[in-house]
Amino acid sequence: MNFWENVFVETAARYSVAILCLIVFLVVFELVTSYKNWDEIKKGNLSVAMATGGKIFGIANIFRYSIEHNDTILQSIAWGGFGFLLLLFGYFIFEFLTPTYKIDQEIANDNRAVGFISLVISVGLSYVIGSSIQ
């Protein structure tokens, strides 16, 4: 049996790639928000924790679908990356659809209602995005 065809090796490889992509995508989210996610979480900002948790769940869920529907790691990365871009686009739509206040500012100010809605949007969109992955 070929080393790369071993189910344990393939699982570890897909897991490692998904974790690496998760880290990269969280850095992108960090760049587009006006607050520093991990600093705010360290301070106990529950709204930021919920929003960030939703993003983590959303990205992981998109990769779950991507891995399930693709034979190679490269295909999984490509579909996972595309799904992430759609999730990021959804974040900007959320900001656009609330012109009376800034989502980032509300989350940074620990508005838990906005943090929770942000979490639910990320999770919900990840299912819609994931179900479309080929």
How much is the pLDDT for 5?
A: 80
Say if CB 132 and CB 121 are below 8 A apart. no
For residue 105, give every residue at least 6 positions away whose Cβ sits within 8 Å of its Cβ, in sequence order, or none.
Answer: 34
How much is the pLDDT for 1?
A: 65
DSSP 98: -
Query: Which of the residues in the chain have pLDDT under 50?
Result: none
Full-model pTM: 0.90
Q: Count up the domains in the chain and report the number.
A: 1
Dist. CA 57–CA 99, nearest whole Å: 26
Q: Give the domain range for residue 55.
A: 3-132
Q: In the chain, which ranges are continuous DSSP H helix?
A: 7-32, 37-42, 46-69, 73-96, 103-108, 112-132
